[in-house]
A and B are shown apart, each in its own frame.
Chain A
Amino acid sequence: MYRYDAYDQRLVDERVAQFRDQTRRYLAGQLSEDEFRPLRLQNGLYIQRHAPMLRIAVPYGLLSSRQLRKLADITRRYDRGYGHFSTRQNLQLNWPKLEDVPDILAELASVEMHAIQTSGNCIRNITTDQFAGVTPDEVVDPRPIAEILRQWSTFHPEFALLPRKFKIAVNGNHEDRAVVRVHDIGLEFLRNAAGEVGVKVWAGGGLGRTPIIGEVVSEWIDWQHVITYCEAILRVYNRHGRRDNSFKARIKILVKALGIEEFRRQVEAEFAHTKGGSMTLTQAELDRVAAHFTPHPYATLPDTDASFEAARAADPAFAAWTKRCVHPHRVPGYRAVTLSLKPTGIAPGDATAEQMEIVANLADAHSFGELRISHEQNLILADVPLAKLHEVWKTARAAGMATPNIGLLTDMICCPGGDFCSLANAKSIPIAQSIQERFDNLDYLFDLGEIELNISGCMNSCGHHHVGHIGILGVDKDGSEWYQISLGGSQGNDTRLAQVIGRSFAAGDVADVIEKIIGVFVEQREGDERFIDVVRRIGLDPFKHRVYGTPAKKEAAHV
């Protein structure tokens, strides 16, 4: 993975000193609340319900074991011994003290980490595929370009105070696991017939209050121009994006208002001036960064392993885990492993300091000392030899991280919600728990197959409810918490937005409603059909009728 050189290190060190001084001035009354707000936000610091919340950047979701140990150490010394992994592949601490934050940032800097631009109206953490570099048939490893973009976007002077937050995702694979179509800018790296690398650019996607799927701005930009092209998009946005209304300030609103044709024309006009300028990437710079992401020293292994097969045959629980939590790898004899942070009874995405240390040890022992965070809020060991899977499983299971539910109903994406977040309209963690408890039978979950259920506690959509097969949104009605259910969303290559099924429900009814929805699915399912395919085939009506109890004449006629 990328290691800081003297320039990288100096920048994060200077950032710590800068924020220490800003915090001092704020506490001394020399900076007003309004003046301090963007400064603290661009260091990941929110003021929350109980305490500040600190969001630590995990660039493109990649961590070393050393960094994870430091995070564990920080949660123990400055927080309550756990952290929450977020859909931007970051880590959030819910209980730090404002006056400790400069020290926390200094601790992070000591392991080449930071909290830079994890919030605020600026370019946020660049996200990518959690299986980047190891997934079979990958077109381009997106990690070097993600690191180059991280550096470019860090303290970019022109885009330091945008109309609103700005999220960029990078994908280099046929199958999009980075959800590039719902980002302010989505980049897909691809190759042409001659084998040259280029990038397809989407803009104007986003979830939030007004969910919109991004549109293609350019089908192909030579890779050397990726930064100048992004700068052209950002410049148009920075100058013309709406600042009068924060609900309409994202780039998606500008793209919709102008229309994609006019937006593209403005971007291309800007790009015509800057193309070939000094931010044009060089092969030397790409090579320098890419050298940090060369393949690990993999052993030459057969792609089968007798001990693995024996363990799988002997232990049904292990066999179940290998079905859900073990993923293909480009190198024979290796697999990627997802450690589930979604056991029943725990807030989705939460990990304790002890768990972090166990994962760090596992990474050191069996996965070249590295791990990843997925936007689905799980931890990934990307390079585990087949023969070590059983051992990894045993350790992970003892630590509560081997629930074989990856991709299943209980592997929910869930924001911290009203328990922690001051923006939330409603709690989301208790809703997740009520559903997990209702669907606690693993055999049944297996039979149901892949179902993505996403929960957001407010329309800011941190829980990606718009792109869940089942989406749950917390809404506020006359001061009490209600939940709106939607169906039919999806992420990936076929990104679609879910549709609301009808009026919302009280918290205590949500699990019942989900059970009814699943009931319709089970009845209507043909063979091993996936939930989302059933929804697409039969439409929303049968689900609505079951949930709201309105008998359908149309359906009655079928009988």
Chain B
Amino acid sequence: MSNFVKGTTLATNEWNLLRYPVVAEPEQKQAGKTVIFKVTGTEAATPETIAAFALPAGKIIVPLKVWLARRDELAPRLAAGELGVWFESFELIEDLVERVEDINVFPVIAWDFVRFADGRGFSSAALLRQRYGYRNELRAIGDVLRDQLFFMRRCGFDAYELRADRSVEEALTGFKDFSEPYQASVHIDQPVWRRHAR
């Protein structure tokens, strides 16, 4: 069963999300706890991994670093409208925005929530929409859960690959958690005091 939501309804996912091959990384510890969230600016993969990254036919969403390193090779795929890019939670959207003339050449950009509690994707989404004028699909991937959907949508996400072990139908109610938020964001871009005579 599909776990993909476009807008606020169930949809068919036409894109093949390509992740890095899983390599066992040595456990890193900080202050006695396993490091889950990498520091912003960490390198996502080695040059060898990027060079060896397989690119099957069809609509694919590739890691940012793969596109950056192999953009000439991927240019025809982009021109054909079958290439999207995804970000690790510790990457910077500027690394993509500053290397393309028009961010809207990408039909889809995705942001990986390595854990739902990593809020970097919220600021990145808001910037992509508000500052860099991105209008196409902005997809949340990874640890995407119902209780963060409301915030994700408000920050500019409009597509969600919900975690496979959860009920998508139930999760859809998460978009309706609050009806009149106070502050401006991407979705609902005026604060309540500008939307209504209070």
Contacts and interface: CB of A to CB of B under 8 A. Distances in A.
29 contacts: A7-B180, A7-B198, A11-B178, A11-B180, A14-B177, A14-B179, A35-B145, A121-B117, A121-B119, A152-B182, A154-B182, A155-B181, A157-B183, A158-B119, A160-B119, A161-B116, A162-B119, A227-B183, A235-B127, A239-B123, A243-B118, A244-B28, A245-B31, A246-B33, A247-B30, A278-B191, A285-B193, A288-B193, A288-B198
A156 interface: yes
B39 A158 contact: no
A5 B120 CA distance: 33
Contact of A11 (B119, B148, B182, B189): B182
Interface in A146-179: 151-152, 154-163
Given A5-B198, A279-B191, A10 B180 contact: yes
Interface in A203-238: 227, 235, 238
A277 interface: yes
Contacts of A11: 178, 180-182
Contacts of A246: 31, 33
Given A11-B180, A161-B118, A247-B30, 18 more contacts: A7-B182, A7-B192, A10-B180, A11-B178, A11-B181, A151-B183, A152-B191, A157-B183, A158-B126, A158-B155, A163-B119, A238-B120, A242-B39, A247-B31, A248-B31, A278-B191, A282-B193, A285-B198
Given A39-B147, A278-B194, A245 B122 contact: no
A154 B194 CA distance: 17
A156 B155 CA distance: 10
A158 B181 contact: no
A451 to B, nearest CB: 35
B38 interface: yes
Given A238-B120, A238-B123, A157 B31 contact: no
Interface string A231-274: 00001001110111111100000000000000000000000010
Which 9 A-B residue pairs are closest in the complex by CB-CB distance? A161-B119, A243-B37, A245-B30, A157-B154, A157-B151, A285-B193, A278-B184, A151-B182, A247-B31
A502 B15 CA distance: 63
Interface of A: 5, 7, 10-11, 14-15, 18, 22, 31, 35, 38-39, 121, 151-152, 154-163, 227, 235, 238-240, 242-248, 273, 277-279, 282, 284-285, 288
A14 B127 CA distance: 28
Contact of A239 (B116, B124, B189, B193): B124
B196 interface: yes
Contacts of A18: 177-178
B122 A161 contact: yes
B99 interface: no
Interface size class of B (residues with CB under 8 A): 35 or more
A10 B39 contact: no
A157 B123 contact: no
Interface in B137-152: 145, 147-148, 150-152
Contacts of B31: 245-248
Contacts of B120: 238-239, 243
Which of B126, B178, B189 has most A Cβ within 10 Å?
A: B178
A43 to B, nearest CB: 12
Contacts of A227: 183
Which of A10, A14, A162, A239 has most B Cβ within 10 Å?
A: A239
Interface string B86-112: 000000100000000000000000000
